[in-house]
Structure 1
């Protein structure tokens, strides 16, 4: 278990090492069906089939892409998806930097800014998921029988996060600060989401920053309880942009048509999730993350929106500056792809 020492150099080295060894990640082997009816828009000629290597996590973040895969939206655009599983948005960004991915579905703005400050050119091509009061999704959880009730009770405690100095940690720090406590007075330990339960039971962590399917599992087994839905609780307007879909500018420039086709299919997946989140879309989610449908129906869901929400993106960037994740003022417009389909 790695405890944050505030060493940004070491963090960047870790990200690059992840990129170098990412080849050990195993592709899920799930690929889109070829669509013989796919044609170039308005030309009547078949569009060239393209394979896109895309990162996924076996959690709700990947829902719209799972739907697009199962419903044939990508196949209709003659796109074959090659899924690559990663553990965090930081790993996804590192994989892109290392050339192992074309599109990162599960990244976040902190990872994008950190990569671009090192000379890379990563762009946001779409929102991925958003949290708010209706769709809280990510929880700050404490042991079920613990005495912790407020942010003050957590001073000096150890928080588990899936990525040090990542988006989830940043919003936990923002929540501490909003509640009058110094975020520098808590510790952060990096570990995968599935490892947090055993770490909490052993007492090596005091707080788990986690999402479903793990949140519902903790609640079912009385392992932990929700102290805060810290993303929405810490955000100025009560909602936050959590996940992003990103690509490198070089890949975008060389694959403009494929990118547009990808975004058309992704947007159809988002529309389907929004219209059928308690129906067929939930069946598809349960199948792809391999969790019983009865359990998935009790998940704390997340909201999907098309395009890029520039206002929420700017709020996240302002938090980065406020909390010392970046030393300068950041502008949302500098991180949005010029090829984004306007919604």
Structure 2
């Protein structure tokens, strides 16, 4: 399964494709439909991964229902569909990693983060993403990744930026790492078969690879910042202006969901079986992210600085205060 990421070119092409679309599809309220008793159906663009467990758990617990919101989760084929889907009104809200949102905003895409989504758990060696190598690999640390081929699920995004930071911190030359793009679910086989020297894996790929004997040599999120805000839920700036009440209710319900998931990790783990195919030992052993209610701005400033150094933003830097505050 793919983490919700998209490269800068994908963002620009996709959003240009919807930029000329009018707002008639979503109506002036920005909501997809309304039912009786003041209930509003809200579509949320997601990719079915571990990170969005609080959203499904909050739906199950009634946190959205009691605020008059009927959730409809729409699984996108890839992250590139979510940002333009929100901008065009296909979805009222979406889930995206923070680098993708920064890239989009730096290109003039009218998006606004409204509530936290997921964060690093801060545990080096046991974080939600890891650089993994074969058991008998000569690679012993992130420093050894210099001159090697490392798989990421999307090029020029949060994966290669944070992997470079791990290499840098370990004393290696991040410019000498060669990145190739491979889907998360194909990474365990790619590492085991020697197609790549290492792979930056999310869950459940990381747990699957370790069960096959693979070793973790770096934890890029935790090594970049132990409190790194990895992803958030966002909407269009148009919806924040046209229906601020809905945005407020969604934010409150999602905040309650994040807190509940943080306090009840076993329930968060179990909810995965309702929207993914994860089960058995993988479900039992996979690593969960942190789900803090608050966005960590200091970590995002660091991520933005690293992304800028990697050339992800072009001529214009993202306005982090406008995007995330």
Give the equivalent residue in structure 2 for 1:320: 307
SS at match of 1:184: helix
**Candidates 106, 110, 127, aligned match of 1:121:** 110
Pair 1:303-2:290 in alignment: yes
CA contact (8 A) 1:110 1:167 kept: yes
SS at match of 2:133: strand
CA contact (8 A) 1:35 1:76 kept: no
Rounded to whole Å, the distance in 2 between the matches of 1:122 and 1:328 is: 16
Rounded to whole Å, the distance in 2 between the matches of 1:191 and 1:100 is: 28
Give the equivalent residue in structure 1 for 2:59: 69
Assess, with a 3 A threshold, how the Cα gap between structure 1 residues 98 and 304 changes in structure 2: closer, same or farther. Answer: same
Give the equivalent residue in structure 1 for 2:205: 214
Give the equivalent residue in structure 1 for 2:4: none
Give the equivalent residue in structure 1 for 2:121: 132
Rounded to whole Å, the distance in 1 between the matches of 2:81 and 2:132 is: 23
Give the equivalent residue in structure 2 for 1:230: 220
CA contact (8 A) 2:118 2:230 kept: yes
CA contact (8 A) 1:125 1:308 kept: no
Assess, with a 3 A threshold, how the Cα gap between structure 1 residues 57 and 320 changes in structure 2: closer, same or farther. Answer: same
Q: CA shift at 1:271, angstroms? A: 1.8
CA contact (8 A) 2:227 2:296 kept: no
Pair 1:14-2:10 in alignment: yes
CA contact (8 A) 1:16 1:94 kept: no
Rounded to whole Å, the distance in 1 between the matches of 2:73 and 2:237 is: 21
CA contact (8 A) 1:162 1:191 kept: yes
Q: CA shift at 1:16, angstroms? A: 4.7
**Matching of residues 264-275 of structure 1 within 5 Å:** 264-275=252-263
SS at match of 1:297: helix
CA contact (8 A) 1:314 1:331 kept: no
Moved more, 291-300 or 109-118: 291-300
Q: CA shift at 1:242, angstroms? A: 0.9
Pair 1:108-2:104 in alignment: no
Pair 1:204-2:192 in alignment: no
Assess, with a 3 A threshold, how the Cα gap between structure 1 residues 240 and 186 changes in structure 2: closer, same or farther. Answer: same
SS at match of 2:285: coil
CA contact (8 A) 1:160 1:208 kept: yes
SS at match of 1:73: coil
**Candidates 214, 228, 232, aligned match of 1:240:** 228
Rounded to whole Å, the distance in 2 between the matches of 1:15 and 1:330 is: 14
| TM-align CA RMSD | 2.6
Rounded to whole Å, the distance in 2 between the matches of 1:15 and 1:321 is: 16
Q: CA shift at 1:89, angstroms? A: 4.6
Rounded to whole Å, the distance in 2 between the matches of 1:147 and 1:202 is: 15
Q: Deviations over 1:214-270 (max 9, x none)?
A: 211111122x221111111233xx331111211111122122111111112212211
Query: Under a length normalisation based on structure 2, what TM-score does the superposition of the two structures give?
Result: 0.82
- Structure 1 unaligned residues grouped into runs of 5+: 1-10, 22-33, 37-45, 338-343
Q: Deviations over 1:34-54 (max 9, x none)?
A: 997xxxxxxxxx43x222221
Q: Which has the higher contact order (CA 8 A, sep 6+)?
A: 2
Give the equivalent residue in structure 2 for 1:153: 144
